[in-house]
Structure formats: structure tokens, C-alpha cells
Amino acid sequence: MQLQVDTTGGEHVHIVLADEIDTPFIESLENDGHHCQTVQVLPTQGLDELIEDADVLVVRSTNVTRLAIEASTRLGLIVRAGAGTDTIDTQAASENGVYVCNVPGQNAAAVAELTIGLLLAVDRSIPASTADLHMGRWAKAEYSAARGLKGRTMAILGLGEIGVAVAERATAFGIKVRALNRAERASGLLDRIDRLNIDFFDEVPELLNGADIISLHLPLTDRTRNIVNDQFLDQVVHGAILLNTARGALIDEAALLKAMETKALRVGLDVYEEEPPTPTADWDSSFVKHPNIVGTHHIGGSTQQARDAVASGVVRVIKAYADGHMLNCVNLADRPLGACTLTVRHRDEVGALAAVLACLRGAGINVQQMQNEIFAGVSPTAAVATIRASRPPTAQTVADLRQIESVLRVEIAEQA
């Protein structure tokens, strides 16, 4: 990646935006010396043809394929202007040494607001009632049969930023909230979760038993794809409300169609398994025409507040990257790797670390993770390199490391 050094300590990068963010945020990046280019992906010109000279790619809804990732010899960072990264080939990015970062939680309030809006719309039949008014039909008795939300039970699948925001709003309506007791809940959410008196269950059947509202807030993975299938829906109580503002492919739509007929399920959807590829399109779908469905146009995170928050998050990620730091990276190993850890204390001078790495390479040892930190003080000072290696070094390799002129001390700890 060919970068211009910034006199303030950062680096200038060429940023390609395949989906627009508002002008003030672009200006913020350009004021730091970065070059921003907004492109439009067309059927006649794919993303791979538009990012050949990009250092950073920013996307919201645009798919980033292996072809696009491998088209650029300079690409170092892909930023998803949102939380989910299932539209990005993260495996291809990892193979090519490209960071993939997201902006989690910034649109949580917007998605949670729409989720509650869909719940109210389903429970009170607001769309059908409005349609009748527009047609000049008054049907007070027909629309007075809503059950109401107070005292009902909502099962939330996915207790991340959005799931917690939904739980907070549902609790304010007097809804009893339950969720899965999963250890992967973000630690930053624990205080908020504790204040909500959520009931936790270990398995999905226990979670669904007695829940008459179900809200999906899961990422789309191989494990969660079509999680709402025949078996899932068989466990849902008759007449329940199902909400999905996460990913359309979480639901097996054929199974849901059957359940709407046999179990009188009512559904509020913002996302669908097959959506039009453009913001404006004719879309003839028998699924969304079912009378038990209230739907919106995949707009969960599309409020001005959310757009500003997401754009601000994108700017923070790019500025950190230009300064040599990573924020919200989803494709770095999230655990210590290697069979052992070498701690090499060395003088902070040119070639010291290179000599250490050359020694390890000569011994056939792969460096899987490494951090090198410089001690404070008047130059010259020392540094400490923490190296997680693929296998423990032999006694001879340790002796060779200690013979390097710049090396002060070598310590070895095998991984547990």
C-alpha cells in the first residue's frame, strides 16, 4: 500500500465509497488529507473495476466479493457502514491480508424503534386500518379487537446492541422479556441487561415455550441461516407475533407461510430472503402479500440519527487505521495463537527485530502473532517483542537468538 506520510503523524489514504455517506463526514476525512471518491456500482461496471487503486473501501449494502478484493493490490481495509458483515467475503479478505471492520451499535436505536413500530402495527392492525380510512371505510368494531402489549412475553434471539435496545423498549411497554443464556453477550452490555430483569433459558425450545412475541436480532451465519424453520415454528404458540429486522435469510419463508395459515401467526418484517438489488424497483412477491404480514423496505437503520452515528463511526475507524490502529476488526484472530510465547528484550535500534525474525525463519518457526513495544526515555532505550510462535524453539535456536548483538534477554513460555 503506497501511502503519503501525514505531518501530524498519520497517513493519507485513498478511500472509495461504494455507498454514500453524508458530505460533512467526507469533508472530515478530506480535511485530514485523505482522498475520497464515491462510486456507483452498475451492472455494466462491477465493484472490482472501481477499486483498483483503493486503500480503503467503505460499503453499506454493496456486496464485496473475492473478485473485488483481489482486484486491488493496495486495498488494506474494508469498512462496513453498519454492524453485519455477511455481504463481505471475509475469508477472501483474510487470505489477502485485508482488514474488515464494522460499526456496531450505531444504528441500534433506529432498528429497535422500527421493531417496536412493527410490533404495534401488527398488534393494532395499523396498516390495514389506515388503508380502510384512505378508501373511505369506517370499521371501528373490526379494529377494536387488539389484544394489547402489556403483560405479554417477548423472546429475543440475539442479545447484542440491537437486541438489548429492543428489550429496553419492550420492558417500557410492560412486556416480559426472555433470551438465551449465551456467554457471548458483549461485556459492555451486562449492566444494561442486569437492569432489565430478563429471564434466561439455555435452549431454544425453553425460550419459545410460552412466548407470544418473538424478535430476531441475530447475525446471518451458517448456524443461523433458516433458524426459523418448520421445527422452530412448531414450538411457537398459536397466534404469536414474529418480528424480523435483522436478516431475511434467518427465516425459511416457505415454512413461515405454512405457519401463518396453520397457526395464525402474524408477522412484522423489514428484511426478506430475496430483496430487489436496487433502492427502487418493481417487486412482485407472493410472500409479502400475505395478509398476516406487515412489512417495511429494509429501512431498520435508516434514520438521519442512525446515518450520522454510522458515518461518524466509519470516520473513526478510518482515522484509527491511518494512525496504525484497528477498531472493530472482525477478521483478526480473537484468541492467542501459537504453541509458545517468546519474549525478546532488545535494544531499540535498526535491524534488531529483523535479526530476531530472520533467526526464527531460519529455524522454520512461523510467527503467528507479534507485538513490539518501545520503552520511554531518552534514546537509546530498549524494546520488548512478544512473539507467539508456531512451535517452541530448540535449545540451539534460543542460543542463536541470545547471540544476536542487539538482544538483551530471551524468555519462553509454552501456551497452556
Residues whose CB falls within 8 Å of the CB of residue 201, separated by 6 or more in sequence, listed in order = 178, 179, 180, 181, 207
Catalytic residue, from 169, 298, 307, 388: name it. Answer: 298
275 is catalytic: yes
Return the CATH architecture of domain 340-414. 2-Layer Sandwich (3.30)
CATH 3.40.50.720 in the chain, residue ranges:
4-106+305-322, 108-301
CATH class of 4-106+305-322: alpha beta
Q: What is the chain's pLDDT, residue by residue, as a tens digit (416 residues)?
A: 333 433 344 578 999 999 888 888 999 999 999 999 999 887 667 899 899 899 999 998 899 999 999 998 899 999 999 888 888 999 999 999 999 999 988 999 999 999 999 999 999 999 999 999 999 999 999 999 899 999 999 999 999 999 999 999 999 999 999 999 875 566 578 889 999 999 999 999 999 999 999 999 998 889 999 999 999 999 999 999 999 999 999 999 999 999 999 999 999 999 999 998 778 899 988 899 999 999 999 999 889 999 999 999 999 999 999 988 899 999 988 777 888 899 999 999 999 999 999 999 999 999 998 989 999 988 889 999 999 999 999 999 999 999 999 999 999 987 65
Quote the cell numbers at residue 227: 433458524
Q: Which amino acid is at 192?
A: R
For residue 189, the 8-state DSSP code is: G
State which fold the 108-301 domain adopts.
Rossmann fold (3.40.50)
298 is catalytic: yes
247 is catalytic: yes
Catalytic residue, from 225, 275, 316, 345: name it. Answer: 275
The Cα-based distances of 59 to 20, 234, 249 in angstroms read 8, 38, 20
Quote the cell numbers at residue 386: 512478544
CATH 3.30.70.260 in the chain, residue ranges:
340-414
Q: Are 175 and 155 in contact (CB under 8 A)?
A: no
Catalytic residue, from 247, 266, 307, 388: name it. Answer: 247
Q: What is the pTM of this model?
A: 0.76
348-352, long-range: CB < 8 A, 24+ apart: 348/374, 348/375, 348/379, 348/380, 348/381, 348/382, 348/383, 349/380, 349/406, 351/406, 352/383, 352/404, 352/406, 352/407
| Burial class of residue 141 (count of CB atoms within 10 Å of its CB; 0-12, 13-18, 19+) | exposed
